[in-house]
Amino acid sequence: MRIQAVLEDAEKQQVEKEAVRLWLKELKEVAYDAEDVLDGIAYQTLRHQSESKVRNFLSRSNPLLFRTKIAHQIKHINAKLGEIERDKERFKFNEVATPLTTMISDGSSSSSAVPNYQLETASLIDDSEIVGRKDDVLKIMNMLIQPIYNGEDDDALSVIPIVGLGGLGKTTLARLVFNANEVGNHFNLKIWICVSTDFNVKRLLGEMLQDAFEIAKHESSSMDSIQRALQDKLRGRRFLFVLDDMWIEDGFLEKWETLKIVLKCADRGSKIIVTTRNGEVANMVAGTSQIQNLQVLLEDDCWGLFQRRAFASGGVQMTQALEAIGRQIVKKCGGVPLAIKSLGGMMRSKREEKEWLAVKNNEIWNIPDADKKIINVLKLSFDNLPSSVKRCFSYCSIFPKGYSINKKMLIQMWMAEGFVSTSRGNALMLEDIGNQYFNILYLNSFFEEVETNCIGEIKRCKMHDLVHDLAQFVSGQESLVLSSNVIPDDISKTRYMCYISSGRRAEFPKALYNARKLHTLLSNIPYEVPREMFVNLKLLRVLDLSYSTSIKELPSSICKLKHLRYLDLSMTDIEELPESITRLYNLQTLKLKKCKKLKVLPQKLYKLINLRYLYIGGCSELSGMPKGMEHLTSLQMLSDFNVGLEEDRNSITELRYLNLLRGKLVIYGLEKVRDATYAQTANLKGKSNLSHLILFWEDMEDGVDNANNNKELSVLEALEPSCNLKQLGIEGFGGESMPTWMMNNFANSQ
């Protein structure tokens, strides 16, 4: 408790005191080093468990040498910790937790240190988002739909700027208009582009091509070829473009005119909405159009927004005292929706009046600058997060501004980095705890613009620009997003990196090898992966090379990444994985989606005993599964299973022990199952977490006869799924009737 209190006090003081910030940075560095050492020890244990013969294990490493190396590392770390402990004394940190910094009530253990936030489906459809903005919505919709021509020579393309303070809801307002049915019916084409601080015309035009027409921009494409391709597609269409979060920069006006020239081929009535915090930008792009200045919310609207967040189902009970304090807090937010929502989400977990008073009397309200005040309100919400959730939030700074984050992917990355853990005796799985962390961030308004699936579950989300700024601040030098080939001089302590290559290099930039402590690398490298990359970046936990179409193979040196837990090679041209990949015993997630040239999986895939997710959907050349799949008992997701012949043991029986499978499973090649006994051994009925099952039969070359029909019916009879299944698909089935379990379910449902 004392350590936690010291860290919380230090995190608050670092905003004003550079020395404290440096002290925290040193502490984090040595903590990361300690994690790396412990993870290395754990890897040796996994390696021993996975190897079938002790002789093989000993031949590959020298246990005495390994222990000596680890001992030296531990000694060095302990010495560093001693220095940091001595430095701590000069800062006089508070070693007692205060109500403001304690999110969990007294007596909470490590296993219960995070409240169990479960989102109801209905709460995701939040009408509070349009509080106080109905008039603004109607006004802008009328400007979009009603033609405004002052003369015959007017441009066919008009611009509507929306300008206002950060956090006022400009993006939310634009999205409400963008998604309105009336607007959708009026325009032939709608495109949404996040501009942010990188007003790169070539990039924007390329994104328009890709988003609207699914035409991928090749890295070597010239500006002229992209312009012509886009104009060919736009000509004769009435479109609506939203350019979200535009900033002023050198050469802005010239770039803006270049963009408009390309878009002038539009049909009359086409419109562009520009959202910006900068009034100068609004004046430059407006032309003859009226600028829409977004105002702060009225007091009653502010209170309604806060009330829905703080006192809604699962929140604190509203008493007369808490309401009075809450109204005073809301007044201090200055009518900014983002600040109100963030504080409302934070206060829903605070039950004591003294906790509410601590927020009301906080010194952040004395800051005169409105932008800084909003950031500090968000920082206040961040300070109140559980420490484990803080790391998860800080990690999100690795994504570029405006990036649409896949929720499942994000949780898998958190797991790979070790941010999500469970204590002994805790029945929750890592995925469930990760989902709780996500819900906490969502309810505190750190995530927004949520996209849901057909049953109301969150699929994707984004971060508000101010929230992203906060994530970058709290992550400091740990996180780095590179959108060009200009690499900073000092990246030796960078832990998380998103490297978006410009495509002009012929090989991986060797300067990135200086980031030897890198834990996460997201990149679209337009060249083959060099062997040296894995030799130099040995501490990687997360490696995402998806959409790097130049990748056709991986070097065998990938086995050097003994810490690796997440590997995404989706949408690459890889044909075969090196067998050495099966020595990545920590690997939890392997994504190979739409690798259309992939022909075979590693023969010893069964050695990846910690594998939880295997995505192979869209791998059309993949003929079958490797032997021993039944040993991958940790699998939670197996997107596809290709049935092989029983003689090769690549049969459906390999599914028998995979009872943790959840979500969707597609089984191909069921015509190869020669006996219903094999199908029954697969034990689909015991896979109670599966929600979606698709069964495929392909046409047999020797034609269809009654015997074959009877065999298919008996196989389908034996493939009875769990009663928890929500969706079932059957394709190519040649039986003359349905199985009894299906008929019984139909009868029961009626």
> What are the residue ranges spanned by the domains of the chain?
2-91, 99-126+297-468, 137-293, 548-749
Task: Tell me the C-alpha distance between 686 and 682, whole Å.
Answer: 9
Q: Which of 21-25, 117-121, 260-264, 309-313 shows the lowest per-residue confidence on average (mean pLDDT)?
A: 117-121
Structure tokens, 93 = 């940190």
- Residue 456 DSSP class: S
Residue 173, pLDDT above cutoff 80: yes
Cross-strand bridge partners of residue 240: 190, 271
Q: Which of 59-73, 141-155, 541-555 shows the lowest per-residue confidence on average (mean pLDDT)?
A: 141-155
CA of residue 105 relative to chain centroid, distance: 30
* DSSP element (H, E) containing 412: helix 407-417
CATH number of 137-293: 3.40.50.300
Task: Tell me the C-alpha distance between 539 and 411, whole Å.
Answer: 20
What pLDDT, on a 0 to 100 scale, did the predictor assign at position 23? 82
Question: What rounded mean pLDDT belongs to the chain?
Answer: 84
**Share above pLDDT 70 across residues of the chain, in percent, rounded to a whole number:** 85
**Share above pLDDT 90 across residues of the chain, in percent, rounded to a whole number:** 43
Residue 117, pLDDT above cutoff 60: no
What pLDDT, on a 0 to 100 scale, did the predictor assign at position 3? 65
Structure tokens, 382 = 């961040």
Q: Which of 42-51, 281-290, 507-516 shows the lowest per-residue confidence on average (mean pLDDT)?
A: 42-51
Q: Please state the rounded mean pLDDT for residues 301-329.
A: 90
What pLDDT, on a 0 to 100 scale, did the predictor assign at position 594? 94
- Residue 576 DSSP class: B
Structure tokens, 603 = 């023969």
Residue 114, pLDDT above cutoff 70: no
Q: Which of 23-32, 420-429, 555-564 shows the lowest per-residue confidence on average (mean pLDDT)?
A: 420-429
What pLDDT, on a 0 to 100 scale, did the predictor assign at position 97? 53
CA torsion sign, 422 to 426 to 427 to 428?
Answer: negative
Residue 59, pLDDT above cutoff 50: no
What pLDDT, on a 0 to 100 scale, did the predictor assign at position 58? 41
Read off the pLDDT band of 500 (50, 70, 90).
confident
Task: Tell me the C-alpha distance between 168 and 340, whole Å.
Answer: 10
Task: Tell me the C-alpha distance between 91 and 207, whole Å.
Answer: 49
Task: Tell me the C-alpha distance between 288 and 455, whole Å.
Answer: 45
Between 34 and 61, where is the model more confident? 34
- Collapsed DSSP state (helix, strand, coil) of residue 157: strand
Cross-strand bridge partners of residue 731: 696
What pLDDT, on a 0 to 100 scale, did the predictor assign at position 222? 79
Residue 122, pLDDT above cutoff 50: no
Q: Which of 115-129, 217-231, 392-406, 711-725 shows the lowest per-residue confidence on average (mean pLDDT)?
A: 115-129
Q: Phi and psi at residue 667, in whole multiples of 5°?
A: -110, 120
Q: Please state the rounded mean pLDDT for residues 714-727.
A: 93
The candidate with the shortest Cα–Cα distance to 11, out of 98, 108, 86, is 98
Q: Residue 315: which region, alpha, beta or left (left: phi > 0; alpha: psi -120 to 50)?
A: beta
What pLDDT, on a 0 to 100 scale, did the predictor assign at position 109? 34
637-638 vs 640-642, strand pairing mode: unpaired
Residue 637, pLDDT above cutoff 70: yes
- Residue 205 DSSP class: H
Per-residue buried b or exposed e for 649-672, using 16+ beta carbons within 10 Å of the residue's own CB? ebbbbbbbebbbbbebbbbbbbbb
- CATH fold, domain 548-749, is 3.80.10
Q: Are 461 and 448 in contact (CB under 8 A)?
A: yes
Q: Please state the rounded mean pLDDT for residues 506-527.
A: 88
The count of residues in the chain is 750
Q: What is the pLDDT of residues 343-370, one digit of tens each?
A: 999 998 888 999 999 999 988 888 887 7
First-residue to last-residue Cα distance in the chain: 58
Task: Tell me the C-alpha distance between 219 and 199, whole Å.
Answer: 18
